[in-house]
């Protein structure tokens, strides 16, 4: 809120932005249904945009989430982990617990419709002790996502940062298949060597 100044509540632990689109009559009906669903499920406040301009202003909060978090600390490490939608609340609480356990700052935002969360570590990469705690926190977050039936990535891929977690996430059979495919398509290991497989 301090960054975007869109009128978000300052006393809320979390904010859920829901959108609908289509014919104006359908949009109005769906917006009311979503507002009622939020109230039934314990939302402390519900705000429904009354104009396209107000809707754009509210949507700005999600679009600037990373930029707002990036101003908090010298380094920002954005990760993603995806869980079934039914496990989102559990996963968000777990991320908060892990952040407290390791004494690291984590801001989480994401795409609730597909269960994709972005735990974003607000840290200082020059502080070795803090980075050690960040890495331990990340490992626990990825392991818990898999335990809940999710995955270690939703849209950002695996690559160097997550390759150590890949065997637990997909299992030996899938990993073996991926290795065979890589050898077949890239027998000389020229394409992204070491990115996923050693």
pLDDT of 58-77, one tens digit each?
888 888 888 888 889 999 99
pLDDT of 17-63, one tens digit each?
999 999 999 999 999 999 999 999 999 999 998 888 888 888 888 88
Q: Burial of 128 by CB count in 10 Å (0-12 exposed, 13-18 middle, 19+ buried)?
A: exposed
Helix (H, G, I), strand (E, B) or coil at 132: helix
Report how far Cα 114 is from the mean position of its chain's Cα atoms. Answer: 10
Phi and psi (nearest 5°) for 92?
Answer: -65, -45
**pLDDT at residue 118, rounded to an integer:** 94
The two three-digit tokens of residue 86, written as one number: 């039914």
Domains and CATH numbers, the chain: 1-63 (no CATH), 66-157 (3.30.70.2740)
Sign of the CA dihedral with 122 first, then 124, 129, and 132 last? positive
User: Does 154 score more than 90 pLDDT?
Assistant: no
Distance, in Å, from the CA atom of 178 to the CA atom of 167, rounded to the nearest integer, reads 11
Phi and psi (nearest 5°) for 196?
Answer: -120, -40
**Residue 165 CB neighbour total at 10 angstroms:** 21
């Amino acid at each position: 809120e301090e960054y975007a100044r869109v009128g978000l509540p300052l006393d809320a632990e979390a904010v859920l932005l829901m959108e609908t689109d289509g014919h104006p009559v359908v949009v109005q009906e769906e917006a009311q249904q979503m507002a009622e669903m939020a109230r039934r499920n314990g939302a402390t406040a519900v705000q429904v945009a009354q104009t396209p301009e107000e809707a754009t202003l509210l949507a700005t909060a999600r679009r600037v989430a990373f930029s707002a978090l990036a101003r908090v600390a010298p380094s920002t490490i954005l990760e993603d982990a995806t869980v079934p939608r039914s496990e989102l609340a559990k996963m968000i609480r777990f991320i908060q617990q892990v952040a407290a356990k390791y004494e690291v700052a984590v801001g989480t935002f994401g795409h609730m419709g597909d269960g994709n969360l972005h735990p974003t570590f607000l840290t200082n990469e020059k502080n070795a002790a803090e980075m050690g705690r960040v890495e331990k926190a990340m490992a626990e977050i990825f392991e818990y996502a898999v335990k809940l039936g999710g995955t270690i990535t939703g849209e950002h891929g695996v690559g160097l940062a997550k390759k150590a977690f890949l065997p637990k996430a997909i299992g030996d059979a899938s990993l073996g298949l991926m290795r065979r495919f890589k050898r077949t398509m890239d027998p000389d290991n020229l394409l992204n060597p070491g990115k996923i497989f050693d």
